Structure 1
Amino acid sequence: MKQVRLTESSFEPREGYERSVLLTSEDFGANTKLQLMRLAPSQSIKPHHHNTRTECFRIVSGSGEIKINDEVVATTDNDIVLCEPGDVHEFINTSVSEPLTFLVIRTNDSGNEDMIWEDA
């Protein structure tokens, strides 16, 4: 058994956002990871895709948009969005004052090798 308190998460800075790895493959017994992400007001995570990784996003707080392929999905607290391998996706925090915080469940996770940034 392992308990994780989101309120006690420590974040590491990334390119345009912060993340906290909550559970890893060692916890799940598979290539799966649970992360807490925090996107500052008016910031975005650049468009990218994964060849093998599936990601499930659960909005914890805040509001924003997820662009997946050619579709824009408006998100708010408690929404869940699934992004499949090959889907080009981008997160945008539409708030000018509040962070956008969300959980990410990553399956078939092979690490940063499967993070393919799209050309600008």
Structure 2
Amino acid sequence: MIKPIINISEVELLPRPAAFAATGEAAQRFDARMGFVASLIGAQKLGYNITAVPPGKRAFPFHNHRVNEEMFFILEGSGEVRIGEAVYPVKAGDIVACPPGGKETAHQFINTGAAEMKYLAVSTRLSPEIAEYPDSGKFGILAEFPSDAGNAPQTFRFVGRESKSIDYWEGE
């Protein structure tokens, strides 16, 4: 059995996985190191990670979730969180709720402080998930399926724009 306890000092913060690494012009605004905790302590229905954001950067684009709920606990540093059309200051000790919903629940943390900002992110892990990105007009679909015969995780990920949708019957 996996030990269900880990100390925050034991969580190794690594560059984000390649699938989520900012490239091109986005690399100037986005950066983060992450430590994935859930699998280390045997979590099944919640995801946990610690995210560290350098000064002047954002970890992720402004986005909302249609299915999953997130909660953030600021561990160190300070910054701002955009939620819908509002901007709120955040600092160590603050708890932020981000329920599922439309553009009014879209959120993004921005490190406006002089030091690294770290937060604990906790989320439900319902699948499939639909995320929307109001600043860029994109959407994303992520689905996780049971592992294959070789025990490899199975996922489906698609990012697109509704304006590029094709007809249901095209190509049939």
Name the TM tier (shorter chain): 0.7 to 0.9
Higher strand share: 1
After TM superposition, the structure 1 stretch with the greater mean CA deviation from structure 2, 43-52 or 5-14, is: 5-14
CA spacing shift, 1:109–1:62, aligned 2, 3 Å: farther
Q: Deviations over 1:80-115 (max 9, x none)?
A: 01001121111100113x10000011014438x544
Contact 2:54-2:111 at 8 Å conserved across structures = yes
Task: Check whether the contact 2:68–2:123 (CA below 8 A) recurs between aligned residues.
Answer: yes
Residues 8-19 of structure 1 mapped to structure 2, 5 A cutoff: 8-14=10-16, 15=22, 16-19=31-34
Shift in CA distance, 33/67, structure 1 to aligned 2, threshold 3 Å: same
Query: Counterpart of 2:61 in 1: which secondary structure?
Result: strand
Contact kept? 1:33, 1:109, Cα under 8 Å: no
Secondary structure class of the residue paired with 1:46:
coil
User: Which residue of 2 is the match for residue 27 of structure 1?
Assistant: 42
Does residue 85 (structure 1) correspond to residue 100 (structure 2)? The answer is: yes
Work out the number of aligned pairs and report it: 116
Runs (5+) with no aligned partner, structure 2: 17-21, 23-30, 137-172
Q: Identity of paired residues, percent? A: 27
Structure 1 residue identity aligned to 2:85: D
SS in 2 for 1:94: coil
* Contact preservation (8 Å) 1:63, 1:94: yes
Find the counterpart in structure 1 of residue 160 from structure 2: none
Higher relative contact order (CA 8 A, sep 6+): 1
Aligned partners of 2:126 and 2:79: how far apart in 1?
A: 25
Retained in 2: the 8 A contact 1:54–1:106? yes
Aligned AA for 1:94? T
Question: Structure 1, unaligned stretches of length 5 or more?
Answer: none
Match of 1:53 in 2: 68
* 3-state SS of paired residue (1:75): strand
CA contact (8 A) 2:48 2:121 kept: yes
Query: Quick check: 2:79–2:90 contact (8 Å CA) kept in 1?
Result: yes
- Give the whole-Å Cα distance in 1 for the aligned partners of 2:126 and 2:116: 26
RMSD: 2.0
* Greater Rg over alpha carbons, structure: 2
- Counterpart in the other structure of 2:51: 37
Identify which of 91, 95, 104 aligns with 2:121.
104
Give the 3 Å change call, closer, same or farther, for CA 109–35 of structure 1 in structure 2. farther
Question: Structure 1 residue 46: deviation in Å?
Answer: 1.8
